Amino acid sequence: MLRLFGLLKWKPIGEHMSKNGLIFKNTFFLAFRTILSLLVSLYTTRVILEEMGASGYGLFSVIYGTVGFFVFIVLAMNDSVQRFLSMKIGSDDTQGTRDIFKNSLLIYCVFGLLLVFCLFFLKNIALQNVLNIDVVSSNTANVIYIIACLSIFILVVQTPFNALVLSYEKMSFYAYMSIYDACSKLVLAFAISHMASPDKVILYSLLLLISSVTCFILYFIFCFINFRFALFGGRINRDFIKEIFSFSFWNVLGGFASVSRIQGLNILLNVYFSTVVNAAFAISNTVLNAINLLTQSLVTALRPQIYKSYAASDISRYRFLILMGSKFTFIFLSIISMPLIVNTQEILILWLKNPPEFGVAFVRIIVVMALIDSLSFSIMAGIQATGKIKAYQLLVGFVIFINLPISYILLKSGFSPQVIAFPLLITSIINLNLRTYFLVAKGVLSYSKYYCNVVLPCFIPIAVSFVILFYVKSFLLIDGLFYTVAFSFFSSFVTMVLLWLVAFSTDERRFCYSSIINVFRILKNKRKGL
């Protein structure tokens, strides 16, 4: 297929085969971890809801959700530290790795303390004015708020250790820790059901804090055993601190823009429509979060290799990883997302029994937006590798923010809630091209190469699959669990076959086949070792 569109030559995938096997193995671990964690989390929510009751769970969720709003800062900082560590590792600079780790640990300890101080300072305002907690629940809310703040501090301080594990591509440990985190929450949920406590909300919050501390200790022990050389011997360097802080600031700005887009739309929908519309939008956000977790599982495996290739001045591999990451991420999500697009109504009924009005429309809009954005993730990693992100974050962040005034004008003009699809999808397409432009300007990519090797080979089979599936569905009566699941598998299968035939080159098919065989061989050998 690449030859049909190939105006430019694509370097054979075989030249990168050995390192790509590591990426595929890491992706397998992370995807498995994500899917298992999602399933466990869904069941945990059900158990906690039964034990706490709607009122208790609502109180717990709203406070943790408010404090948890700042988690996007932690994620942005993690990407920043990982970038600097990977660059030093890629250039074989051991002392530089030590220096980056020590300076980043200092920065995030100070930042964590400042963040907790600010959250404590705003506690009364948040609980009494913003969240409007009733008097009966005020004492419980105060305790939960304090515990949530301490949990955020641990998360911030753990950031350099997370980044160290990811930079050295120890994805199996990272995956195991994520599974531990999800499973520990489930165990704690069952534990509080057997404990005689007057306030199970506080008890569960305390147990979660203990679990977070345990997780941090395990990360520290793992890093101490495997990367002791990086933990000690670092030097405080003002230039490093300034560089890391500046990079983290612009990353946080980009993360804030993305979070504000969704939260801002939620507020606008609340202003012009009923809470039923907000419920429908919240459901679509749940789907978006699940899709983003799957996307991150792919990009997390790819990002260190992109950073290291750039640091080693291996521009050929750097370019290849960006193109491969963009294509493979889109293909992976397309296979999973197609059933959600085709069987949206049936899946929502099975999941929620009585999905709110506009739920189907919002889910389809969000899934299509996520597919477009999935093309950008490896490009974003490529831009971050260069270290020049100020103009990029300002421009892309501005386009993301544009969603809100456009949506405001459209909704104020009397359009239905689905009209938010227009600014969401258009700005996603604009940002895809803007991100590509930043690499085009550096001579890494060309628009013709990107569209001919990635975009067209991906979107053509998806469009054909969409038409075929909706045509077939028009002749069927999809009702009940069995038929919904069967047609969902059929949708994924048709999408996968068309993508395999059209989107993949011969070398890419060969690589996928050999990588799958290698993963199963590794798992088989590990089982024998046990």
Helix (H, G, I), strand (E, B) or coil at 365: helix
Q: How many angstroms separate the CA atoms of 214 and 158, rounded?
A: 11
> Minimal CA–CA distance to 245: which of 374, 96, 108?
108
Secondary structure (DSSP) of 482-513: HHHHHHHHHHHHHHHHHHHHHT--HHHHHHHH
- 2's CB contacts (< 8 A; 6+ apart) are 10, 452, 453, 457, 505
pLDDT score recorded for residue 24: 64
> Minimal CA–CA distance to 256: which of 75, 428, 426?
75
Low-confidence ranges of the chain (pLDDT < 50): 1-17, 135-136
DSSP state at residue 418 = G
Question: Model confidence over 136-177: pLDDT tens digits?
Answer: 456 777 787 888 888 888 888 888 898 888 888 787 787 788
First CA to last CA across the chain, in angstroms?
43
DSSP state at residue 132 = -
User: Tokens at residue 433, please?
Assistant: 């091209």
**At 387, phi and psi to the nearest 5?**
85, -10
- Burial status of residue 370 (CB atoms within 10 A of its CB: 0-12, 13-18, 19 or more): buried
Sign of CA dihedral 487, 492, 496, 502: positive
User: Tokens at residue 389, please?
Assistant: 């992100």
Q: How many angstroms separate the CA atoms of 338 and 299, rounded?
A: 20
Q: Diameter of the chain by CA atoms?
A: 70
Q: How many angstroms separate the CA atoms of 239 and 385, rounded?
A: 18
53: left (phi over 0), alpha (psi -120 to 50) or beta: left
pLDDT score recorded for residue 4: 35
pTM exceeding the 0.75 threshold for the entire prediction = yes
Nearest-10 crossing angle of helices 315-342, 275-311:
160
> Minimal CA–CA distance to 48: which of 172, 203, 163?
203
**At 6, phi and psi to the nearest 5?**
-75, 90
User: Tokens at residue 348, please?
Assistant: 């929502």
- Alpha carbon 511 to its chain centroid, in Å, reads 26
Helices first, then strands: H and E counts in the chain = 22, 0
Question: Model confidence over 440-497: pLDDT tens digits?
Answer: 888 888 888 888 888 888 889 999 998 998 888 877 766 677 788 888 889 889 998 9
Count Cα neighbours of 119 within 13 Å in the Cβ-side half-sphere. 25
User: Tokens at residue 193, please?
Assistant: 């059901």
Q: How many angstroms separate the CA atoms of 239 and 103, rounded?
A: 10
Helix (H) or strand (E) holding 430: helix 421-441
In Å, what is the CA distance from 499 to each residue of 9, 294, 492, 504? Answer: 21, 19, 10, 7
pLDDT score recorded for residue 515: 66
pLDDT score recorded for residue 68: 60
User: Tokens at residue 250, please?
Assistant: 């612009």
Secondary structure (DSSP) of 18-33: HHHHHHHHHHHHHHHH
Residue 192 neighbours by CB distance under 10 Å: 17
The answer to whether residues 104 and 251 touch, using CB atoms and an 8 Å cutoff, is: no
- 147's CB contacts (< 8 A; 6+ apart) are 202, 205, 206, 208, 209
- 240's CB contacts (< 8 A; 6+ apart) are 99, 100, 103
The answer to whether residues 34 and 299 touch, using CB atoms and an 8 Å cutoff, is: no
Q: How many angstroms separate the CA atoms of 138 and 132, rounded?
A: 10
In Å, what is the CA distance from 493 to each residue of 287, 337, 368, 400, 487? Answer: 21, 12, 19, 34, 10
